Structure 1
Amino acid sequence: MGSTQSKGQTKRAPVQARALQPRINLPELPPYQGYPIQYHHIIINATLDVQAHFSFMAPNMSIQATNVEQYYPQLAAMYDQGYKMLVFVSLPGSTKNYGLASLGQSQMTIKFQGIFRKLLPEEMGQQWELRVEKSTLINQMFMQWSGNLFLNSGSHTGSMTDNNHIFQTLNNISQNGGRLISVELTGMAGQQMEMQRQMMQGHAQRQLWSTGTMPMMQVAVDVFYEIPRQPSSERYVYQVVSCPMQSTFQYSFPHGQFHSVINWEAILTQYLGTGWKLVEIFEDYSVSSMTQMSGFSSNITQNKNCLWIFEKPASRLNDNTPYYEGTMVEHWFKTKTELHGMGFGGASVNVTTDWEPVIEHFGKIGWQVVRILETPDSRIEGAFNPTIHTRQMIFFQRLIAGKSDVAGASSSQPQPQPEATGDPAPPPSYNELYAEK
């Protein structure tokens, strides 16, 4: 199976950002009766120039994916320094192509970030080993048209994904006593480039019009997980829940924009409230897009499927006592295109994610980052060399004060006293970090 390397709910209604101005001071945070989280960030540059074949793939299939050896040693070394990895995520806009694909000399690079946290005092006796296994998604696009093309028409497009190998990998991790950390897209199939070439020749287009589907594509993902260095009787079980992100396109002159919603409060209330821990939110690239056109106006609704992966120790499977609470804060990253020599000297694209200060700030009151989820929501600022602000949802969870997630560990720990009685205030929305001029 693949290739392995080893070495109570917080709620807050979303608040719309009134203006995307430079970020001001981070907001004050309410007290937390627990340990703070100390973060460490590692930037990884990886190339997708490796044509590999894995045992779970068809005999005639080779896939273009990252070489795990490029970044595994650096990530695994953090475990010897007293850290645990929480997230492995690709940085938006960091994919770059070099060379000529037509000559077979194309190379692609992607920038990733590994986000780690320092071990808590109660975890100091634990010893874990980081591992990563290659897996794949099999994706197939489809398209359906209805109505009159010129007066009133509609289309239903998107893609369907087969996640079976990821589920098999998750089952193997559980059986071996491991714990899932992160799932991240780290490659693509050679068939994708071939599909584009075929489309130019009309082969894929004829298949599209005759069957409503495109040729299947296989996409590489890395599954990161931990294995205890000493044998342990504890096993962890996983529950995978589908919860889509719905995005609606609204046209407003001169630019249209998406507005995305996801029912995250309900899903966290249900599962964190019954003793589960959120481990990952993975977009599996199953997309359904409905477009309705009437005259010169159009209405687009897009659903992106997200797999929410929850974890629970097998010894507590029937125990519904909550151990974690969760929240989401909004973050906007910036993309700016700079033209050189009035465009004759080329252009460069600068992306500023700037999520580290946000993550570290909320870590002060125990929040551990789970997933940085990108949305299609964006706003354009400026006319010449515009800056594009793109919305992300950063999902956090933290131990409920007084609880311990370490088997056999004492829950006694320093308990800072709150300054006021009553329920603690929920963390502020990151939109509050922006202010009007």
Structure 2
Amino acid sequence: MGNTQGNVPQGSLNVTTMQGPQGAVQSGAHSPLPVDTVPYRGPKLEYLMINISAKMSVQPGFFQSMITTNVDEYYPTLVQPYQHGFKMIQFQTIPGVRSQAGWFSQAVPFQAVLTRPIGVPPPNEQWNLQIVKSFIELQIFYSFTSWSTNGQTANTTDVMAKIMDMCQRGARLICIEATGMQQNPSFSSGLRGHAGTIGVDLLFHIPQHPNPTPYIYHGIHVPITYTVQAGFGIPSYQCMTDLNAQFGAFLNQGWKLVEINLDSSQMQRTTGFTTGQISMNSMWFFEKEAAYANDSTPKWQGTIITYQHKVKAQFGGVAASRHNWDPILVEMGQRGWELACILETPETRQSGLTSATTTVLLFFQRPIIPM
């Protein structure tokens, strides 16, 4: 059980815990929630959201600059709810939101999402939260054919090696989050095709109880393709990849989704002056109990909710709308749905003189209850 104590600067932490729909809080526009024709008989989930404001600093150099965050300072606070039966299932930045915090720094909001079952005795388990630092190297490639422009590929060797190493120690992967750390290439490395380094945090649960259940992990690269329609203002995007089919294909083989991570690589294809395609590389991570490695019996069902995340420019930065996805998580928890990941998409449209709306995908899953 996480028992580390930490102090959080006044005003930088916001904790919300809900067991049912809260009429005073409204969510932003979203696709309809799934309807159960028969009430779900599995356990319901209580959600707890912890919002923090981390500081991102830029350290300029002659040929390169480094962007760092102080988010590590908040990790002790994030594990305190473990003493009350909560476990973290997601930790990420709020898309598109920034505010000025100094000459060379910005305040960046992060949200931790934790859950615990309602009305069910907690399992006789104890966990610690461990953060493992890793990085993704970007490599530039060039293509001078008639249908493509230059782009980037990502080297995730270090990420995969550390996941495998932690797995052998009995750890379970929670999520992968970009820390904000970014290092631009030096002049010489840029000439060799090195496009920079992005820092990521690998969040793990470390068992403190005897004989923990071992898990195995599977990661795949999935290009997500969008058609782009250029015009006045912000271009419009339409996703051409069937994400529901991709999600369901692995759930139907007994895997559980842990994370979808966009590794910042992309390849752009141009088909005309006003239309084109862009393919973004994503990495999907799934887990399964090691004892069922060769068992393809489906154990999870999934659904994807489309959420419209609205941000507005204001003096000193960009703020999110007062509407947020928290009520959606609470309502889905009442139906037994566990958040798997939150995926930001490039689908952004201008919704006012100083505001824009980005499409965000909320991936949920829950155990299949035999009839």
Q: TM-score, normalised by structure 2?
A: 0.81
Shift of 1:99: 4.5
Cα distance in 1 for residues equivalent to 2:139 and 2:106? 23
- Contact kept in structure 1, 2:175 and 2:203, CA below 8 Å: yes
Shift of 1:69: 3.6
Partner of 1:45: 53
- Contact kept in structure 2, 1:6 and 1:130, CA below 8 Å: no
Q: For the structure 1 residues 290 and 35, does the alpha-carbon distance in structure 2 shift closer, same or farther, using more than 3 Å as the test?
A: same
Shift of 1:175: 0.3
Partner of 2:137: 138
* Aligned ranges 1:62-141 → 2 under 5 Å: 64-67=67-70, 69-96=72-99, 98-100=101-103, 106-119=104-117, 121=120, 123-141=122-140
Partner of 2:350: 380
Show CA shifts across 1:249-293 (max 9, x none): 113556531112432222233221121111111112221111244
Question: Which one has the largest radius of gyration?
Answer: 1
* Aligned equivalent of 2:312, options 330, 336, 341: 336
- Contact kept in structure 2, 1:333 and 1:392, CA below 8 Å: yes
- Contact kept in structure 2, 1:180 and 1:225, CA below 8 Å: yes
User: What letter corresponds to residue 283 of structure 1 in structure 2?
Assistant: L
Matching of residue 307 in structure 1 with residue 310 in structure 2: no
Cα distance in 2 for residues equivalent to 1:94 and 1:361? 25
Partner of 2:254: 275
Matching of residue 247 in structure 1 with residue 226 in structure 2: yes
Q: For the structure 1 residues 70 and 50, does the alpha-carbon distance in structure 2 shift closer, same or farther, using more than 3 Å as the test?
A: farther
Cα distance in 2 for residues equivalent to 1:326 and 1:24? 17
* Aligned equivalent of 2:195, options 206, 216, 224: 216
Higher strand share: 2
Cα distance in 2 for residues equivalent to 1:223 and 1:115? 15
Show CA shifts across 1:155-213 (max 9, x none): 41221111011101110111000110010000323x42x65xx6xxxx899x4xxx7x4
Cα distance in 1 for residues equivalent to 2:298 and 2:318? 45
Cα distance in 1 for residues equivalent to 2:270 and 2:93? 29
Cα distance in 2 for residues equivalent to 1:302 and 1:362? 32
Shift of 1:364: 1.3
User: What letter corresponds to residue 311 of structure 2 in structure 1?
Assistant: T
Cα distance in 1 for residues equivalent to 2:257 and 2:168? 19
* Aligned equivalent of 2:164, options 171, 176, 179: 171
- Contact kept in structure 1, 2:98 and 2:107, CA below 8 Å: yes
Which 5+ residue runs of structure 1 have no aligned equivalent?
8-20, 52-60, 101-105, 148-153, 339-345, 404-437
RMSD of the TM alignment (CA)?
3.1
- Contact kept in structure 1, 2:307 and 2:360, CA below 8 Å: yes
User: What letter corresponds to residue 388 of structure 1 in structure 2?
Assistant: A
Cα distance in 1 for residues equivalent to 2:252 and 2:98? 38
Matching of residue 354 in structure 1 with residue 324 in structure 2: yes
Which 5+ residue runs of structure 2 have no aligned equivalent?
5-26
Cα distance in 2 for residues equivalent to 1:42 and 1:88? 9
- Contact kept in structure 2, 1:6 and 1:132, CA below 8 Å: no
Matching of residue 371 in structure 1 with residue 313 in structure 2: no
Q: For the structure 1 residues 122 and 22, does the alpha-carbon distance in structure 2 shift closer, same or farther, using more than 3 Å as the test?
A: closer
Partner of 1:392: 360
Q: For the structure 1 residues 108 and 25, does the alpha-carbon distance in structure 2 shift closer, same or farther, using more than 3 Å as the test?
A: closer
Partner of 2:43: 35
User: What letter corresponds to residue 346 of structure 2 in structure 1?
Assistant: P
Shift of 1:386: 4.1
- Contact kept in structure 2, 1:379 and 1:390, CA below 8 Å: yes
Matching of residue 228 in structure 1 with residue 207 in structure 2: yes
Q: For the structure 1 residues 254 and 73, does the alpha-carbon distance in structure 2 shift closer, same or farther, using more than 3 Å as the test?
A: closer
Q: For the structure 1 residues 79 and 333, does the alpha-carbon distance in structure 2 shift closer, same or farther, using more than 3 Å as the test?
A: same
Count of residues in Structure 1 that have an aligned counterpart in Structure 2: 340
Show CA shifts across 1:214-269 (max 9, x none): x4311110000101112325311001122222111113556531112432222233
Shift of 1:303: 1.0
Q: TM-score, normalised by structure 1?
A: 0.70
Show CA shifts across 1:18-67 (max 9, x none): xxx9759986842212121110000122224498xxxxxxxxx9965334
| 3-state DSSP of counterpart to 1:176 | coil
| 3-state DSSP of counterpart to 2:79 | helix
Q: For the structure 1 residues 260 and 24, does the alpha-carbon distance in structure 2 shift closer, same or farther, using more than 3 Å as the test?
A: closer
- With 220-229 and 155-164 compared, the bigger mean Cα shift is at 155-164
Q: For the structure 1 residues 310 and 252, does the alpha-carbon distance in structure 2 shift closer, same or farther, using more than 3 Å as the test?
A: same
Partner of 1:12: none
- Contact kept in structure 2, 1:37 and 1:368, CA below 8 Å: yes
Cα distance in 1 for residues equivalent to 2:29 and 2:330? 15
Cα distance in 2 for residues equivalent to 1:347 and 1:96? 6
Show CA shifts across 1:308-336 (max 9, x none): 11111111112222211111010001122
Cα distance in 1 for residues equivalent to 2:54 and 2:318? 19
Cα distance in 1 for residues equivalent to 2:228 and 2:172? 38
* Aligned equivalent of 1:184, options 153, 177, 196: 177
